[in-house]
Amino acid sequence: MENLMFVYCSCKVIWTLLVTILGYASSLPLGDDSICTAEELAKYSIIFTGKWSQAAFPKQYPLYRPPAQWSSMLGVTHSSDYNMWKKNEYASNGVRDFAEKGEAWVLMKEIEEAGEKIQSVHGIFSAPAISSGTGQTSTELQVHSRHPLVSFVVRIVPSPDWFVGVDSLNLCDGDRWMEEISVDLYPYDAGTDSGFTFSSPNFATIPQDTVTEITCSSPSHPANSFYYPKLKILPPIAQVTMVKLKKNQLAFPIPHLNQPAKSNEILDSFSETPLDCEVSQWSSWGLCRGPCRKQGTKIRTRFVLLHPANNGTPCPDLEEETACDPDNCV
């Protein structure tokens, strides 16, 4: 009996310790921000650079109604308890509205509600739109040692529901804030609209799909505006750089921003993307023409779907002729 009581007491002690340890662990913040021991606050300039040029992305490049451009940037500094968007997960209603129409009201409400409920949001920031595919825009943001993550979205205009951005980029490295960080950006599909091209009409994806990265081979449909099957990887369509501001820099504006690219300064790291000619299928053979009782000819044609660019494969012959026996001869 004494042995049984000893075992019971021992198990009770172990269970109590286990519950205490698990309770303590559950109270710790989750994710990478749990190890941030840097000074409480840091301020950064964030510079968004559009690299969406006709040379780098020649296929169906939007030249008018509307031309290639970028929406305003909407971002947030937060802890790991919050995600603005996440690859392979469903976009929120706010992200859907922003990616499809550039409307930020619902997304702002979602961010505010997350901040009020679980104190996961430190601040919201925004930067002006860019009226061309290449150019820069900037703003400033503040991070906190308990909220060292940065997320933002910028809509690709025109597009069905395509955007670029970062998800939970950690600016804290242990006991210090990063001095500078640059990230190449690639296009994402919000999974809410089924268009393949920049100018596709609105066609809702039902049921909704998850957020996916658009690559040179996915979606694999030839009509896809980013479909470049001969490339291994798309060139970055944009880049974001965050620079930690020193105390004596906090009020200084960043020069030369919100200006379209005027030289190869922004695009000098890219070679031109070759675009091969694409042609339609052959038409049916036409009528056989020629004098009766002699050999005649008939032709078929095809037309150019996509003109070549940047030393891509030139177009093949658009007309073909073959011998035949003339029609309607007595």
For 73-93, the three-class secondary structure string (H helix, E strand, C coil) is EEEEEECCCCCCCCCCCCCCH
Residue 148 confidence (pLDDT)? 96
CA angle 33–142–147, rounded 5-degree value: 20
Taking a C-beta distance cutoff of 8 angstroms, is the pair 185, 165 a contact? yes
Residue 248 confidence (pLDDT)? 62
Looking at the domain 42-244, which fold is it? Immunoglobulin-like (2.60.40)
Residue 30 confidence (pLDDT)? 41
Residue 283 confidence (pLDDT)? 87
Strands 172-173 and 176-177, sheet pairing:
antiparallel
Closest CA to 158 of 226, 64, 88: 64
Report, in this order, helix, strand and coil percent for the chain, each rounded to 5: 15, 30, 50
Count CA within 13 A, CB hemisphere, residue 85: 30
- Numbered ranges of CATH 2.20.100.10 in the chain: 278-324
Query: The pTM is what?
Result: 0.75
The tokens for 182 are 């640059």
The tokens for 29 are 């913040």
Residue 118 confidence (pLDDT)? 77
Tell me if residue 146 falls in helix, strand or coil: coil
- Numbered ranges of CATH 2.60.40.2130 in the chain: 42-244
Superfamily of structural domain 278-324: Thrombospondin type-1 (TSP1) repeat (2.20.100.10)
Closest CA to 229 of 243, 247, 216, 239: 216
Taking a C-beta distance cutoff of 8 angstroms, is the pair 79, 146 a contact? yes
Tell me if residue 147 falls in helix, strand or coil: strand
Regions of the chain where pLDDT drops below 70: 1-34, 248-271, 330
